[in-house]
Amino acid sequence: MYRLFLAAAVSLMAGFAPLAAADLVLRAADTHPYGYPTVRSVQHMGELLEKSTEGRIRISMYPGRQLGEEWDTLEQTVFGAVDINRVFLAALQNVAPETIIPSLPFLFRSEEHRDRVLYGPVGDEILASLEPYGLVGLTFYESGSRNFYNTRRPILTPADLQGLRIRVPNSDMNVAMIELLGGNATPMELGQVYEGLRNGTVDGAENNWPSYADTRHFEVAPFYSLTGHSMTPEILVISKLTWDKLSPEDQKRVREAARESARYMSTLWKAQVQEARERVEGAGNKINDVPDRDAFRRALQPLYERFAGTPRLADLVRRAEETE
């Protein structure tokens, strides 16, 4: 009788204890829908993590603004209701000034230069700068070059933006960028932009090829002008509250899986840009190069002093520029 009781107790513990003690499901948010490279990359991170922790840690994805716009989900991440969040770096610029650096117009000379900065010591310092705000930066994801698009006319020179209402992500630096070019900046979350373009609240916005195509903005704003003014990346963060509950070994596994998912993202990205471009061109949109990209660079130069003028930020800019 006693042995039977013991056996039952042991099998009960074997059945429940490991699950209850070890299973951790991390809730991950993304504004983009299933199938978008950022979402697929975070899912890939989940698979890697599941493997390296033998099923103890998993990621459950909430894409397509299920948990709100980027700013809402960031707040939820600080309070631990969301564990992992993939957002555009601009969403953090008013919080942690270091995150402005990779968004400074024309900072990166090439995609290779950008990657060496982001995945080197400068990038690591920017990721680490988020901790006082309740977030741990895990990695950056590339996000291509951003270009202007609008409902009115091709943008060839900064003067063509004169008087246009341009949507920007909610960041002071982005507002100042549009003002320096002579446009009227309208901060707005990405999810509101399609309707804004359709009803004329805004005349235009700026984004990379995949976002221009996947949000269907190209259907309402046919002029896409290849200014390539910024290469602002995406960022993957985890709540500091969640992070502090992980063992040092699991923290290492999470970081490694995140970093590996950034490599995965790069392989998806190129194909996505190509596919988006073909879709937009196929729809008959008016795509134009800008004859003098330097005119945009000169017009936007004051942003460096205004938003990265402190010794610490200026030093990060200098080190980014000096990165080979």
For ligand GTR, the binding residues (CB under 6 A) are: 31, 70, 87-88, 143, 169, 190, 207-208, 211, 234
Helices within 62-128 (DSSP H only): 70-78, 111-118, 121-128
Strands 135-141 and 234-239: antiparallel
Backbone phi, then psi, for 311, in 5-degree steps? -55, -40
Dist CA 79 CA 51 (whole Å): 28
Residue 70 vs 83, nearer CB to ligand GTR: 70
Ranked by CB distance to ligand GTR, the top (closest) residue is 88
Neighbours of 56 (CB within 10 A): 16
Residue 122 vs 190, nearer CB to ligand GTR: 190
Q: Nearest distance from residue 208's CB to ligand GTR, in Å?
A: 5
Q: Nearest distance from residue 36's CB to ligand GTR, in Å?
A: 8
Residue 161 vs 190, nearer CB to ligand GTR: 190
Q: Nearest distance from residue 248's CB to ligand GTR, in Å?
A: 30
Residue 143 vs 239, nearer CB to ligand GTR: 143
Q: Nearest distance from residue 87's CB to ligand GTR, in Å?
A: 6
- The token pair at 50 is 């599941």
Dist CA 208 CA 212 (whole Å): 6
Q: Nearest distance from residue 299's CB to ligand GTR, in Å?
A: 21
Residue 235 vs 308, nearer CB to ligand GTR: 235
What is the arrangement of strands in the sheet containing 146-150, beginning at the earlier edge strand?
Answer: 184-187, 165-168, 204-207, 146-150, 223-230, 286-289
- The token pair at 93 is 């610029």
